[in-house]
Amino acid sequence: MQVLLILLVIAAGMGLSVEAGLLGPLGSKVGDLWATFSIFGVGAALTFLLMLFFSPRNSPSFFAQPSWTLLGGILGPIYVIILTVVTPAIGIAMTMIGILAGQVFKSLVIDHYGLLGTAHRKIDNKRIIALVFIIAGLVLVAQG
């Protein structure tokens, strides 16, 4: 089961690369903020349709959740705006490796301290080595 989940997140990562590739040209034609809006507009419409057919009707209220859990709604557009602006300038590979480096670094910190309600997972040498390899990849792609 874990292998299937890992393959699923790899596929999602591939989707992010495609999204970054689509956003740059769209942003250059309609503007960066309109491109970002289009991504979230289409995504919101799709999510709404999925909720209508697949979401349990008796789920807890969205508004009853702690406000800090809604920060993703702010971080998502910031992320997409950065993709839209940066990707045409530095390329998809450099953008994705930079994002990966930031994600892994922050994920290690969140796991180590058990932040945001996650399970506590200490940073060990293997995790540090993985981060170093990602940073090395970033440096190598930047020089290419």
What are the pLDDT digits (tens) for 100-119? 999 999 999 999 999 998 99
Over residues 47-56, the mean pLDDT reads 91
Using CA atoms, how far apart are residues 132 and 122, in angstroms rounded to an integer? 17
Burial 105-141 (b: 16+ CB within 10 A, else e): eeebeebeeeeeeeeeeeeeeebeeebeebbeebeeb
Q: How many domains does the chain have?
A: 1
pTM score of the predicted model: 0.83
Q: Evaluate if residue 144 carries a pLDDT over 80.
A: no
Fill in the amino acid letter for 68: W
Using CA atoms, how far apart are residues 36 and 82, in angstroms rounded to an integer? 9
127 neighbors 135 (Cβ within 8 angstroms):
no
pLDDT for the residue 55: 86
The percent of residues in the chain predicted with pLDDT above 70, rounded, is: 100
Over residues 57-61, the mean pLDDT reads 81
Domain that residue 86 falls in? 2-143
* C-beta neighbour count of 79 within 10 angstroms: 14
pLDDT for the residue 97: 94
Over residues 7-15, the mean pLDDT reads 93
pLDDT for the residue 128: 96
